[in-house]
Each structure stands twice: as C-alpha cells, then as structure tokens.
Amino acid sequence: RIDREWWKEAVVYQIYPRSFNDSDGDGIGDIPGIVEKLDYLDYLGVDVVWLNPVYESPEADNGYDVSDYRAVMDKFGTMADWEELLAGLHDRDMKLIMDLVVNHTSDEHEWFVNAREDPDSEYRDYYVWREGEAVEAAGTGGAVGQRPPNDWESFFGGPAWTYDEGSGEWYLHLFHEKQPDLNWDNPEVRTEIFEMMEFWLEKGIDGFRMDVINVLSKPEGLPEGEDDDAIVRGAEQFVNGPRIHEFLGEMYDRVLSNYDVMTVGEMVDLSVDEAKRFIGPHGDGMSMAFNFDHMRLDFGHHGRWDQGDWSVKELKRTLSHWQHGLEEEGWNSVYMGNHDEPRMVSRFGHDGQFRRESAKLLATVLMTLQGTTYVYQGDEIGMTNYPFSSLDEVRDVDTIRNVEVARQQGRFADEEEMLELVRHRSRDNARTPMQWTADDEAGFTDGTPWIPVNPNHTRINVDAERGDPESVLEYYRRVIDLRHEHDVLVYGRYTLHLPDHDCLWVFERELESSGEEGNDERKAGGDLDVDTGGADVDADPAGSADLDGEDGGTDVGGDDGQGGDAERVL
C-alpha cells in the first residue's frame, strides 16, 4: 500500500532570490521579480518553491545571517510583496516553503546586540559564551594571551570562536563571526524560535527547509575535537549532538504537528542510519533530509577545498545506498545542486560540447529516483559554472575564507591553481544571475548585477530554450510531467542493475498496483503506449524521441506483457 503524501509527489524548485530576477534595477533580485516569473514556474510544472532566506539581514552570508526573523529585507521588498508571492503561488496550485535558519542569528539581531552589550542581560544566555584559555604567548617575553575555549573550527575556515573585548569572553560561531550560534539548551531560545515558526505558518506557508538543523545541540563542556578526519575540527562533537532529537521532537510536538506541512532538514555529515532517527516512523517528525554523501565524492585529500576525482560507479553506489536505505523507512530528497554547490552540469556532466545531453541525462536521474525532487534555479536550462579569472569576481565569504586558509597552508603552486579550484568549487558558480535572455545582464536586471552574469548567457537562456523541442528546458517540462503522471516514478521500488559497471547506471523502478478504487489513472498503462520496446515514454509523439535519448531503453508503464498489474520502468 502506498503511503501517499503530497510532498512525496512534489517537484521542488529552489529560488535564490538575490540572483533570480531584479524588478527595480538595483542589481539584486527581489520578491516582485519572483512574482513576475510565477507564470514561468507554472509553465515549468513545479509544485513547490523553496525560497532561500529573505529575512532582514546585514548579509554577511547572503541572508543566512538573520537580524529579524519576522521582517522581509528591504532590498527584497516588503511583507506585502511576500504575501503577493504566497497568494500567487497558491492561486497556481503551487506551495511555498521558507528557509529556517536557527542554528545562528546575525550578530546584528537584537538578541545578540543585547547579549554583547550587557553580560547580565537575559539575552546573554541565548548564545554560547565561554572564557578562553590563558596561554603564554610565544615571543612576547612571557606575556599571557588567550586561546579560544576549544579547538573547533568554523565551516568557513579559522576558529569557531571570536573574542569579545567588552566582556573578555568568547562566543561560538560554527560559520561566520557575524553568525553567532544560538544556545538551544536555553528553553527561552526554543520558545522564541517556535513562536517565530508559528508566525510564518499562520501566514499560510507550506513548510520549511531547515538550515544545518542537525548541529543545534552542543555537548556539555564543549569538548575538543577528536576526529582528525572530521569535516571541520570538532564536527563529531556537535553533529547530531546529545539533545538534537529532544529539540526537534519538541519542535514537532509544539509547532509542526499542528500543520500539514513539509520539512526538509539540511543535515551535515548524515548517514542512512542516523537519517532514520530524524525522519520516518522512528524519527522526529521531519519529512526528509538533505544528505551530502554524493556532494563529497569529488573532495580531495584536504577535503572540500581540494579537488578530487569522482566516478559514475561511486555516484551510483552512493545514491543507490540512500535509495535502498530509505526504501522501507524515511524518504529521500533527490538533488544534485543548490546554492552551496557548483553547477551540476559542470560537476557531474559535461558543460562543453555535450552540455545539453548531459543536462538532460541529469534531469532524468533527478526525476526517476525515489524521493522528492529538487531543481535548483537555472539547472532547468543547463546553466554552467562561471569562468572565474580573478578573485575579484567572487562574492562568497566561504570561498574567500577557505582560499585564504589553503593559501596559508601553501597548497597552491600559483594563482592559476587557486582559480582552477574556485572554478570547480566556489558556491558563486551557482549564484550568478538567472539567464532569462541573451540581452545585456541576461535580462536579470536593468542595473549592474551584484555578481557578474555568466558570459555564456548569450547562448544559454530561457528565451532561447523556450519552445525549442530539443532544449533542456522543454526536456525538464516533459520529464516533470512524466513523473507527475506515474506513481512508479515516485513510489516505485528501486533496483540497481550492473552495480559494478564503470559507466552504465541501470536501475529499475517497480510498483504493484495499489488496487484502490477510483485510482485508475495511477495504475499501469494509462494513456501510454505499452511496452512497444523503446520510444514509448511520452504520449506526445513530438516529445517522445527526446525523452528516450539515443539508447532507446526507457520504458514506462504497461503490464510488461505478462498480465501483471504493475508499473515498471527500466
């Protein structure tokens, strides 16, 4: 029996508002700009929009440093604009999920401003403050200095602690120093966050994408890092920390369980077994999680800021591991790129001669695996990495900091080697403006964009793709439709064939008919040609050749000529 949920059947489209569409010519995308493109989203056929943070923020980390959770950032528009966006999506039968960034706030949030100014304030304990350790500062003739309270590192490079002159204590920040970590052990903090979530849920949103949600709980005593292979020093101490399930369980009981919403937790360093403690029947009520295993395949010896090789075999092994792992329990989030990763066609495909083909192939992977599918803006037209020729073109703090760390470690033979890494790894590859047209600035803005537009926008843009049956965009539309038409693509069991083959990734999806009344369109056959041995994946003859590709193997629907009542895809 199919355990149906609307969010399992959804195709989610991720919008990075800064880079989507600028309506007022200030060079920064905005909410009215998104509203202008609602018909485009409708045409694409997606069901849910995940909006990256649009809250008030000084933007040390492009909105992941929130200074007011209940206000929309001026540059992005007003609350009225946001309400228009929500209504516009709902009118078109689409849903909206918001980014929930609650591991940290901005240091300009009033809680932190109070906490820093007045150590006796009730807000002090909203954050994590500790005294440093006294040390003999080398070469200073015996003067005593201080080292941070422990050796944890920030994800953006350098120590996870910043010293506060005023109070003589240090505060914890797993990310930028302008992103102090909240103290989730404090019940007041939890209540504040839960009330804030209710504020947005009462406005009618349909769920949350939860930023780094599995690092909220820090162990008592904040022990030093022990694992030399950890993603950052100390990670094994705060990833899935001691009270994490208690906190998320409380969030579910007090808030989320009262609404019909979807939640997707972004979880660093997550394994299949750990995932089941967050999602599924034995979890904390969360719908699904983003894991990073396939995003780490191309890490090098020094981790993320080092380029390694990946292979198709490893990719299919990794994704198959998650497909099987969450088959009975839990639910996958299927994604191959987002605002923190390089462009998927450049990373897992080919962004030169075979760009179109590989973008379509990757779209096929996204739409035919089990799980909820996520499409990052621009991937639907096969946007590529940016050809950085100087660090001046980089805006991202993560890139700038980590390049600096690698430079200090003497890891670059020359500038070109550094730029080569940036061209592969920088988050800014995915943050260049959406390419709407071949015009100046790709039709993104009438002004000067906050980050350069990819020069290939003259070739790769929505205008050029729209209506061209060979285009990546039209392919996305068809394959999204196909997924919507066939339960087997959403719920069907996944079986991998030829696991050891170096370049073929062959898998099967299979679903027994649910046998429910009035559900005929979900059963086998439907309006599809049945098992004619090849180009029968699309009822629309004009489109079928394209979906099928050149190997003629795809086959959706049918009783397989054996009289069974099942849907099957190979």
Nearest distance from residue 156's CB to ligand ISL, in Å?
6
In degrees, rounded to 5, the angle at the alpha carbon of residue 359 between the alpha carbons of residues 355 and 363 is: 175
Nearest distance from residue 266's CB to ligand ISL, in Å?
6
For the beta carbon of residue 463, count every other beta carbon within 10 angstroms: 16
Nearest distance from residue 542's CB to ligand ISL, in Å?
39
In the complex with ligand ISL, the residue whose CB is nearer, 292 or 412, is 292
Q: Which residues bind ligand ISL (CB under 6 A)?
A: 61, 64, 101, 155, 175, 211-212, 266, 268, 339-340, 398, 427
Nearest distance from residue 225's CB to ligand ISL, in Å?
16
In the complex with ligand ISL, the residue whose CB is nearer, 380 or 398, is 398
Transcribe 432-472 into DSSP letters: SPP---SSGGGGT-SS--SSPPPGGGGTSSHHHHTT-TTSH
Q: Of 99, 181, 266, 441, which residue is the catalytic one?
A: 266
In the complex with ligand ISL, the residue whose CB is nearer, 427 or 483, is 427
The shares of helix, strand and coil residues in the chain, as percent rounded to the nearest 5, are 35, 15, 50
**Contact in structure between 539 and 527 (CB atoms under 8 Å):** yes
d(CA 413, CA 399): 18
Q: Of 211, 341, 396, 567, which residue is the catalytic one?
A: 211
Q: Which helix (H) or strand (E) holds 100?
A: strand 95-100
Decide if 211 is catalytic.
yes
d(CA 8, CA 263): 11
In the complex, residue closest to ligand ISL by CB: 64
d(CA 121, CA 99): 29
Burial 227-246 (b: 16+ CB within 10 A, else e): eeebbbbbbbbbbbbebbbe
SS3 track for 163-218: EECCCCEEEECCCCCCCCEECCCCHHHHHHHHHHHHHHHHCCCCEEEECCHHHCCC
Helix residue ranges, H only, 326-354? 344-348
In the complex with ligand ISL, the residue whose CB is nearer, 124 or 427, is 427
In degrees, rounded to 5, the angle at the alpha carbon of residue 10 between the alpha carbons of residues 292 and 313 is: 35
Q: Which residues contact 76 (CB under 8 A, 6 or more apart)?
A: 17, 28, 29, 30, 31, 54
Among 15, 40, 160, 185, which residue's Cα sits nearest to residue 97?
15
Among 238, 213, 211, 214, which residue's Cα sits nearest to residue 226?
238
In the complex with ligand ISL, the residue whose CB is nearer, 155 or 491, is 155
Using DSSP, state whether 418 is helix, strand or coil. Answer: helix
Decide if 224 is catalytic.
no
Q: Which residues contact 254 (CB under 8 A, 6 or more apart)?
A: 194
In the complex with ligand ISL, the residue whose CB is nearer, 376 or 507, is 376
d(CA 360, CA 469): 12
Give the up-direction half-sphere exposure of residue 237: CA atoms within 13 A in the CB hemisphere: 19
Q: Which residues contact 261 (CB under 8 A, 6 or more apart)?
A: 97, 201, 205, 206, 207, 208
Q: How many helices (H) and strands (E) does the chain have?
A: 17, 20
The amino acid that residue 346 corresponds to is: S
Q: Which helix (H) or strand (E) holds 545?
A: helix 541-548
Which two three-digit tokens encode residue 455?
């020069």
Place of tokens 């999506």: 89
Nearest distance from residue 87's CB to ligand ISL, in Å?
27
d(CA 403, CA 418): 7
Using DSSP, state whether 84 is helix, strand or coil. Answer: helix
Catalytic residues: 211, 266
